[in-house]
Amino acid sequence: MEYQDEDHLCFTMEEFALATENVSSRQRMSRKRNYDDDTRVYKSKNLEIERRRREKLSTRLLMLRSINPIITNMNRGTIIVDAITYIEKLQHEVQRLSQELHQLEATSEKTAEAKVDEIDAVEDMKHWGIQAEVRVAQIDENKLWVKIIIEKKRGRFSKLMEALNNFGIELIDTNFTTTKGAFLITSCIQVKDGERLEIHQSKSLLQEIINDISSKSE
Amino acid sequence: MMRRRHEGEADEGDFSTLQEPDQYSENLRSSWIRRKSKDTEVDVRIVDNEVTIKLVQRKKIDCLVHVSHLLDQLNLDLQHVAGGHIGDFCSYLFNTKICEGSSLYASAIAHKLIQVMDTSFAAASLA
């Protein structure tokens, strides 16, 4: 009986030894990944990540330094300071150039007037057989349809609009186009106060306005 | 492009392809902006040297007078105008050309138009 117990005890001890050996070997296997094969030195994952982060940072700082033409020192701090000063310089440059652009816009408006090529409208109209005319037709008691053909010259349309406005004539719907050296204006007109419009009166008034504009521009 | 085969037509030439038009060698200058104020809405589009302006405004002032004056100031050669009164609003479309030697931007035109319309609107309401 004693022998049997001893055998049993021995068996259990052997089993225990085997089990512990398996565990330790498993641990060794899992740790093997962090060992370098040649040197058998343990590697920390955190150190690897930190090294990679530092490398990234240094390469990016070098990139920043390569872009920046103003370099005083190779320190990390000075690289950043130089970059800041360069950006500020560029911002000032942008402001200066935008101001210059605004000034150029203002001056170009004045100088462009001299460069404008005025078409000899009268010759063009004669060539195409277009004649200056004013036609008026009644639509309603206080509404007229108007067709005006005049020579194409700068500022004439604005002068015509101003004159009509001064006489209290309102353009309800307007169609204005330029063709072959002439302005063609077709519109419905009415008096702002809602007064009755006479065809002949309106026609003579429009003719007067156009003649006045033509004489002033010449 | 594919065209249908007519009856009695030969097998050859069933498909005819349309050639692509030549691409523009030069880049066209273009800009677009839309500005809005209380009573005015302006839409300005510039393609090369052509400026298209769409103006919608409350019908209280004769906007044609003010706009035509401004276009003269900006050295814009007026080509076409279409529009009129629609209900309580007046809507106009202006086609203009930028004169040689003048440099204009959509934002500048829109800003000035809004400014002119608003000032004249304020003057009209005071009167």
Structure tokens at B35: 């500005």
How many Cα neighbours within 13 Å face the side chain of A53? Answer: 6
So what's the pLDDT on residue A23? 52
The alpha carbon of residue A92 is apart from the nearest alpha carbon of chain B, in Å, by 23
Which residues of chain B neighbour A161 with C-beta distances below 8 Å?
62, 64-65, 68
Class of domain A121-217: alpha beta
The answer to whether A106 and A99 are in contact (CB under 8 A) is no
The more confidently predicted of residues A115 and B84 is: B84
**Who wins on pLDDT, B27 or A118?**
B27
Residue ranges covered by each domain of chain B? 30-126
Nearest CA in chain A to B93: A175
Residue A60 to residue A66: CA distance in whole angstroms:
10
The predicted model gives B39-56 an average pLDDT of: 87
Tell which wins on pLDDT, B96 or A36: B96
DSSP state of A75: S
Contact at CB, B75 and A109, closer than 8 angstroms: yes
Q: What does the pLDDT read at residue B100?
A: 65
Tell me the mean pLDDT in the region B61-78. Answer: 85
Q: Do B83 and A173 touch (CB under 8 A)?
A: yes
Predicted pLDDT of residue A199: 81
pLDDT at position B14: 35
Who's near B125: CB < 8 A, 6+ residues apart?
Answer: B60
Tokens 């277009």 sit at which residue? A130
Write down the pLDDT at residue A14: 55
Given a cut of 70, is residue B24 above it in pLDDT? Answer: no
Contact A155, A116 (CB under 8 A): no
| B30-126: CATH class | alpha beta
Write down the pLDDT at residue B51.
92
- Do the Cβ atoms of B102 and A174 come within 8 Å? no
User: What residues of A are in contact with residue B91 (Cβ under 8 Å)?
Assistant: none
Distance in Å, alpha carbon of B68 to nearest chain A alpha carbon:
5
The answer for residues whose C-beta is within 8 angstroms of residue B57's C-beta and 6 or more apart is B39, B40, B41, B63, B89, B90, B91, B117, B121
* Domain residue limits, chain A: 121-217
- DSSP string of B41-110, one letter each residue: EEEEEEETTEEEEEEEEETTS-HHHHHHHHHHHTTEEEEEEEEEEETTEEEEEEEEEEPTT----HHHHH
Which residues does chain A have with pLDDT short of 50?
1-11, 26, 28-29, 31-33, 35-36, 113-118
Q: Which residue of A has its CA nearest to B87?
A: A172
